[in-house]
């Protein structure tokens, strides 16, 4: 039973919250916030106790030391998002649907956990769907706002489309190999034309989920329309989980045609980073800005995927962890400012440092970490990604990525310029953020600072990634 510990715990707290929810009168829904956060914190902590690796359901579900680590990473991210959402959930417009937020989030998290632990394509697909559909509901959470509803609809349509493509690919894999189990499929992948086609469909389906260029077109609209906390969930947790399973499947199932997919990835990486960066430069709305920046960051993660080794897997996981803290830091600040003032544009941030120094400091650290500036964790993450790609001899790819880090630094500096350098007649007024927000941001800053300085995290991930490729 301990093998499914993460999933069972999450299901348990979801059920508990559901029951509590029933007994809360409509005006008292806010009371669920604290128990939800505490339960999630408990689950996160319990997840760190060493578990037993093993397989269930005849190999459909497999739990390894690495997958447990990945689930812990996702748990931490979701916990931070829960904490950051409190200020927003307490607003009047949300008072009747507070509990839905937690329940839907937990459902998607359960889906992701199953997806990461999948041992065959069927389980993988079920997990993926469970992870996707509730997010669409979350995107449309502020349903009375036109943009939020639009985001929900867009997300569900895109998910349906990409799932269809993915399923088509999976059916071809089944057709050519006669099995759905990763372990059985892997030796039968020979690079036959139908399998190549299957791989392309699979790849395209996943590319939609990770929003790689040219499958990224939905991202900016959805990110802009959805509530900030849902956007941060989409850009960090959803994307992270999809990257994890994508890498695992590439490494464990399709390793025989690595020559082929690494070439595809080569091109997609360049496209994703460059297009993401070029579009990010032009954005005024911070949510759209962060959407394109997160597309570019996903491109950087591919550098680790293309590393095709223990080193590659380690850097992917490590960077994803760093990225969670950095991006959540940035979204946390955008979220609280959007809640309090309704302002979401870069221009609105002019002179923010003079009125809200602490918030701008967190934002600055988060953006520097995203840009890969030492001594923040982002620097280490990026450096290791480049190392992983160079390990395979992709020096020119690394060079292109490096040039792109300069472009990304430019637009991150634009925000920092607005906050620290510009002066404004009407800066965002000074306000006091609540304890939850501060705690959430503090966790992000701690993560950004500590993960780089201490090599413990990296070494741990490295040891767990052993034998995957």
Site residues, other proteins (CB under 8 A):
368, 373-375, 379, 383-384, 386-387, 390-391, 395, 398-399, 402-403, 405-406, 409-410, 413, 416-417, 420-421, 455, 458-459, 462
Q: Could you tell me the two tokens for 400?
A: 């292109």
Q: Which is nearer to other proteins, 168 or 379 (CB)?
A: 379
> Minimum distance from CB of 203 to other proteins (Å)?
28
How many helices, marked H, and strands, marked E, lie in the chain? 20, 2
Specify whether the CB–CB gap between 398 and 266 falls below 8 A. Answer: no
In three-state secondary structure terms, 454 is coil
> Following DSSP, what letter does each residue of 241-310 receive, concatenated?
HHHHHHHHHHHHTSGGGHHHHHHHHHHHHHHHHHHHHHHHHT--BHHHHHHHHHHHHHHHHHHHHTT-SH
> Minimum distance from CB of 314 to other proteins (Å)?
8
Q: Which is nearer to other proteins, 192 or 456 (CB)?
A: 456
> Minimum distance from CB of 174 to other proteins (Å)?
38
Task: Tell me how far apart the alpha carbons of residues 35 and 185 are, in angstroms, rounded to a whole number.
Answer: 44
Q: Which is nearer to other proteins, 355 or 391 (CB)?
A: 391
Q: Which is nearer to other proteins, 32 or 409 (CB)?
A: 409
Task: Tell me how far apart the alpha carbons of residues 239 and 306 are, in angstroms, rounded to a whole number.
Answer: 17
> Minimum distance from CB of 184 to other proteins (Å)?
32
> Minimum distance from CB of 400 to other proteins (Å)?
10
Backbone angles phi, psi at 176, to 5 degrees: -85, -25
Q: Which is nearer to other proteins, 61 or 462 (CB)?
A: 462
Task: Tell me how far apart the alpha carbons of residues 85 and 439 are, in angstroms, rounded to a whole number.
Answer: 11
CA atoms within 13 A on the CB side of 431: 15
Q: Which is nearer to other proteins, 168 or 383 (CB)?
A: 383
Specify whether the CB–CB gap between 61 and 117 falls below 8 A. Answer: yes
> Minimum distance from CB of 389 to other proteins (Å)?
9
Q: What is the DSSP code (8-state) at residue 55?
A: E
> Minimum distance from CB of 275 to other proteins (Å)?
19
Specify whether the CB–CB gap between 328 and 236 falls below 8 A. Answer: yes
Sequence-ordered list of residues with C-beta below 8 angstroms from that of 267, at least 6 positions apart, any chain: none
Q: Which is nearer to other proteins, 133 or 388 (CB)?
A: 388
Q: Could you tell me the two tokens for 301?
A: 């993660």
What value does the CA radius of gyration of the chain take, rounded to a whole number of Å? 21
Q: Which is nearer to other proteins, 77 or 299 (CB)?
A: 299
Longest dimension (CA), the chain: 68
> Minimum distance from CB of 313 to other proteins (Å)?
13
Q: Could you tell me the two tokens for 345?
A: 């544009």
Task: Tell me how far apart the alpha carbons of residues 329 and 412 are, in angstroms, rounded to a whole number.
Answer: 14
> Minimum distance from CB of 374 to other proteins (Å)?
4
Task: Tell me how far apart the alpha carbons of residues 75 and 6 are, in angstroms, rounded to a whole number.
Answer: 9
Q: Which is nearer to other proteins, 116 or 389 (CB)?
A: 389
Query: In 95-146, which ranges are E strands?
Result: none
> Minimum distance from CB of 414 to other proteins (Å)?
9
Specify whether the CB–CB gap between 235 and 308 falls below 8 A. Answer: no
In three-state secondary structure terms, 115 is helix
Specify whether the CB–CB gap between 63 and 55 falls below 8 A. Answer: yes
> Minimum distance from CB of 295 to other proteins (Å)?
20
Q: Which is nearer to other proteins, 440 or 452 (CB)?
A: 452
> Minimum distance from CB of 447 to other proteins (Å)?
18
Q: Which is nearer to other proteins, 12 or 399 (CB)?
A: 399
Q: Which is nearer to other proteins, 279 or 458 (CB)?
A: 458
Q: Could you tell me the two tokens for 192?
A: 């036959």
Task: Tell me how far apart the alpha carbons of residues 452 and 356 are, in angstroms, rounded to a whole number.
Answer: 27
């Amino acid at each position: 039973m301990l093998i499914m510990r993460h999933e069972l715990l999450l299901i348990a707290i979801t059920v508990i919250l559901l029951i509590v929810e029933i007994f809360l009168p409509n005006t008292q829904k806010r009371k669920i916030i604290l128990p939800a956060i505490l339960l999630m914190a408990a689950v996160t902590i319990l997840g760190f106790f060493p578990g037993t690796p093993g397989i269930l359901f005849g190999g459909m579900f497999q739990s390894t030391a690495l997958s447990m680590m990945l689930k812990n990473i996702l748990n931490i991210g979701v916990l931070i998002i829960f904490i950051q959402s409190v200020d927003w959930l307490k607003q009047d417009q949300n008072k009747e649907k507070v509990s839905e937020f937690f329940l839907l989030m937990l459902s998607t998290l359960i889906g992701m956990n199953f997806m990461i632990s999948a041992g065959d394509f069927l389980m993988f697909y079920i997990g993926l769907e469970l992870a996707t559909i509730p997010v669409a509901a979350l995107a449309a959470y502020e349903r009375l706002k036109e943009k939020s509803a639009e985001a929900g609809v867009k997300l569900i349509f895109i998910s349906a489309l990409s799932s269809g493509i993915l399923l088509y690919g999976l059916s071809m894999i089944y057709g050519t190999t006669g099995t759905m189990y990763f372990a059985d499929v892997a030796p039968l992948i020979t690079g036959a034309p139908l399998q190549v086609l299957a791989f392309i469909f699979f790849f395209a389906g996943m590319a939609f989920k990770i929003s790689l260029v040219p499958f990224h077109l939905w991202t900016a609209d959805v990110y802009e329309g959805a509530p900030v906390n849902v956007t941060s969930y989409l850009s960090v947790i959803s994307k992270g989980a999809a990257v994890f399973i994508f890498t695992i499947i590439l490494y464990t199932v399709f390793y025989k045609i690595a020559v082929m997919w690494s070439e595809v990835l080569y091109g997609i990486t360049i496209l994703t980073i460059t297009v993401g960066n070029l579009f990010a430069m032009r954005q005024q709305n911070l949510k759209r800005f962060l959407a394109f920046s997160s597309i570019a960051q996903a491109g950087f993660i591919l550098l680790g995927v293309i590393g095709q080794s223990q080193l590659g897997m380690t850097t992917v996981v490590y960077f994803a962890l760093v990225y969670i803290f950095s991006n959540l830091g940035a979204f946390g600040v955008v979220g609280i400012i959007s809640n309090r003032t309704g302002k979401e544009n870069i221009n609105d941030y002019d002179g923010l440092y003079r009125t809200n120094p602490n918030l701008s400091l967190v934002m600055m650290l988060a953006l520097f970490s995203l840009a890969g500036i030492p001594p923040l964790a982002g620097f280490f993450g990026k450096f290791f990604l480049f190392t992983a790609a160079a390990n395979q001899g992709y020096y020119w790819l690394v060079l292109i990525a490096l040039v792109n880090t300069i472009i990304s630094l430019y637009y991150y500096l634009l925000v920092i310029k607005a906050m620290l350098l510009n002066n404004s007649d009407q800066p965002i007024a000074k306000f006091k953020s609540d304890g939850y927000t501060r705690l959430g941001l503090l966790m992000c800053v701690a993560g950004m600072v500590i993960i780089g300085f201490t090599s413990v995290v990296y070494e741990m991930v490295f040891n767990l990634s052993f034998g995957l490729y």
